[in-house]
């Protein structure tokens, strides 16, 4: 059966797809779109989406991404990336129990401490956005100043990466959250270690290949 990744790339499916490309894994991607993005999700000719019965049979939560890896079905993007890294090993994977804990710690920290505010920046900050809200954007930027400082210090003291002084799955999980905050350039100029780290992550061929495919998808 191999590895199957469910989700369009204008979703958190970017995370497992980026990781799979870093590892050189063969996989099939099933482009499940979010139902809220469709004008008529109930239409007979609607594409496969998160409310489709066929996808709900895979993930009853109705969220992307999900994977089916030779019969093992997993949901939640961070769990998926950590699983794939551990399964396939190599430099992206943890080398011992300590690194396993650190990679989980940074991934969960990114999701709980940073992602809600980073998403607000992405959606509300740009003046050209239909959802532009300068008050909400300013509050989100202010909320991110402290976690940016935390990561900046960790990168400074840790050899430029989150764990083990090398690029790992933890950096993928963090970078895909911090990408959302990029419209607020002042956050990055104030934290040069974060700025250099994110640029290094985004210069990787696997990231650029994934993003090119993402940009080719319809809005």
Looking at the chain, the number of H-run helices and the number of E-run strands are: 10, 4
**CB-neighbour burial class of residue 209 (10 A; exposed 0-12, middle 13-18, buried 19+):** middle
CA distance 8 to 3: 16
DSSP alpha helix (H) spans, 35-159: 53-56, 77-88, 97-109, 115-124, 134-157
Burial label, 137 (beta-carbon count in 10 A; 0-12, 13-18, 19+): buried
- pLDDT at position 61 is 98
pLDDT given at position 190: 98
Residues 6 or more apart whose CB falls under 8 angstroms from that of 92 comprise 19, 22, 23, 85, 167, 168, 169, 172
- Domains, the chain, ordered by start: 3-89 (3.40.30.10), 97-207 (1.20.1050.10)
Cβ–Cβ under 8 Å, residues 172 and 81: yes
Q: Which pLDDT score, from 0 to 100, does residue 207 have?
A: 98
pLDDT of residue 163: 98
Q: What is the pLDDT of residue 131?
A: 85
Under-50 pLDDT residues of the chain: none
Query: What is the predicted pLDDT for the residue at 73?
Result: 98
When computed from its CA atoms, the radius of gyration of the chain, rounded to whole angstroms, is 18
Distances (CA, A) of 29 to 50, 98, 209: 15, 32, 14
């Amino acid at each position: 059966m191999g590895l199957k990744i469910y989700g369009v790339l204008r979703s958190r499916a970017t995370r497992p797809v980026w990781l799979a490309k870093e590892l050189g894994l063969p996989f099939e991607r099933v482009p499940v779109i979010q139902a809220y993005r469709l004008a008529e999700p109930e239409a007979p000719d609607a594409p496969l989406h998160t409310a489709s019965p066929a996808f709900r049979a895979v993930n009853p939560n109705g969220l992307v991404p999900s994977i089916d890896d030779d019969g093992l079905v997993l949901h939640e993007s961070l769990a998926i990336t950590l699983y794939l890294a551990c399964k396939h090993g190599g430099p992206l994977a943890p080398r011992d129990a300590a690194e396993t804990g650190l990679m989980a710690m940074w991934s969960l920290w990114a999701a709980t401490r940073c992602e809600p505010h980073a998403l607000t920046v992405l959606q509300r900050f740009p003046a050209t956005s239909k959802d532009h809200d300068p008050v909400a954007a300013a509050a989100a930027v202010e909320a991110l100043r402290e976690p940016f400082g935390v990561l900046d210090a960790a990168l400074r003291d840790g050899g430029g990466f989150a764990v083990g002084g090398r690029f790992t799955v933890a950096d993928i999980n963090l970078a895909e959250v911090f990408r959302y905050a990029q419209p607020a350039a002042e956050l990055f100029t104030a934290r040069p270690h974060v700025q250099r780290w994110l640029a290094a992550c985004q210069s990787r061929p696997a990231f650029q290949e994934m993003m090119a495919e993402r940009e080719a998808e319809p809005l």
